[in-house]
Amino acid sequence: MLERALYTKPKRSVRYHEGSCLSDLSFCEYDDIFIGCMENNEPVMQVMPCNGDHAMDEDGKFRWTLKDVMRASLGVVGESALGVTEKVVCTRGRLCVLKRFRMVGIKRARFERRVKRLAAIGQCCDYIVPMKGYLYSKRFKFVVCDYYPMGSLNDLLIGAREHGHTPLTWKKRLKIILHIAKAISFIHSQSSTKERSMIINVHGNLKTSNIMIDVDFNAHVSNFGFTQLAIEACDIGQQRRSPSPHYQPPTLHEPSSQKNDIYHFGIIVLDILGGAKALESIEWDFERKEEVKDQKCDFFEFPFEVKDRGKVFMVWNMALACTNRTREARPSIENILMHLSK
């Protein structure tokens, strides 16, 4: 599994029809348009560190420019409704991830304030992917984050299901679930007061592709607050595929909120436990749930010992509670952590 994560070839950016609102360019394709690096007749556009100083590089100085980043790109490793994710090589071979937004609906000053605030919060939690730098120009808006060679949780789950790689053990799955819950708890514990039109106590975009996994199988939540930086592109949103062709999740006509985060956390946990089968179980009635408890049907996609049975079903029931259609009926993240820590 580790070998697959380290040596998977980067994905190519999907090409869209002419006139689409989505960019079809990767940074590695920009060799002939470096004029785009210039703004206001200035030949150098510097990537700014999130912490306000210039101590990001190993030599104590932050010297990245947009041109350096574009030349260092290794290609697209992911795409979403918000933008494109690229892997880049920094000085001395250090790898970073660049999150390039397709559309940003706020001005430079507000973008910079929001990035710095989100970065300051993320750097205080071990389970949130830290933001290192950012750039806002007429043509490009992006943030620079840490790189995780194991890829995302979605990569690991898909690798086991579609390519026959060794599946994650129950202990590793539980560890990942606990780390995600701790990240959400930290975010939800932030002040509920709006800061300059920002909501800083909600993630807003939880899904398996935004959960990064390190070599020790620790989970780190990425894209915290990115929905307050960029605008989701409708084309990509319509192309998103459900984890199961038979499962269509209920449409949640509600703005980003803590209860919405809890719902999507439940979806992530169900995916970790049983993939498509678990997601379909959201619509199952009580009798079908009893079949799972009595092990009369093949449900969980991993083996577990008898001593772990109680914990496995507790996590499963918790995930079902998180996906309750009634917002008020969903548990708080504090209650979830209390049960996971038992």
Q: What is the pLDDT of residues 317-326, one digit of tens each?
A: 999 899 998 9
Which residues in the chain are classed under CATH 1.10.510.10? 151-236+247-341
Least confident range of 7-21, 76-90, 290-304: 7-21
- What pTM does this model have? 0.79
3-class secondary structure, 152: strand
Q: Return the closest-CA partner of residue 134 out of 92, 93, 89, 101.
A: 101
Q: pLDDT digits over 168-178, tens only?
A: 899 999 999 99
d(CA 128, CA 179): 9
**In this prediction, what percent of the chain has a pLDDT beyond 90?**
40
Structure confidence at residue 294 as a pLDDT band (50, 70, 90): low
Separation of CA 196 from chain center? 24
pLDDT at 261 over 50: yes
Residue 247: what pLDDT? 46
In contact, 330 and 198? CB cutoff 8 Å: no
In our burial notation (b when 16+ CB lie closer than 10 A, e otherwise), range 192-229 reads: eeeeeebbbbbbbbbbbbbbbbeeebebbbbbbbbbbb
In contact, 12 and 76? CB cutoff 8 Å: yes
Which residues in the chain are classed under CATH 3.30.200.20? 34-146
Q: pLDDT digits over 327-337, tens only?
A: 999 999 999 99
Q: Which CATH number fits domain 34-146: 3.10.129.10, 3.30.200.20, 1.10.10.10, 3.40.30.160?
A: 3.30.200.20
Residue 93 structure tokens: 């071979």
Pairing mode of beta strands 131-136, 141-146? antiparallel
Q: Return the closest-CA partner of residue 322 out of 273, 291, 105, 236.
A: 273
Q: What architecture is the 151-236+247-341 domain classified under in CATH?
A: Orthogonal Bundle (1.10)
Q: For residue 110, which amino acid is it?
A: R
Adjacency order of strands within the sheet including 95-101 = 48-49, 131-136, 141-146, 95-101, 83-89, 73-79
Residue 287: what pLDDT? 56
Q: Any idea how long the chain is?
A: 342
Cβ–Cβ contacts within 10 Å for residue 43, how many?
11
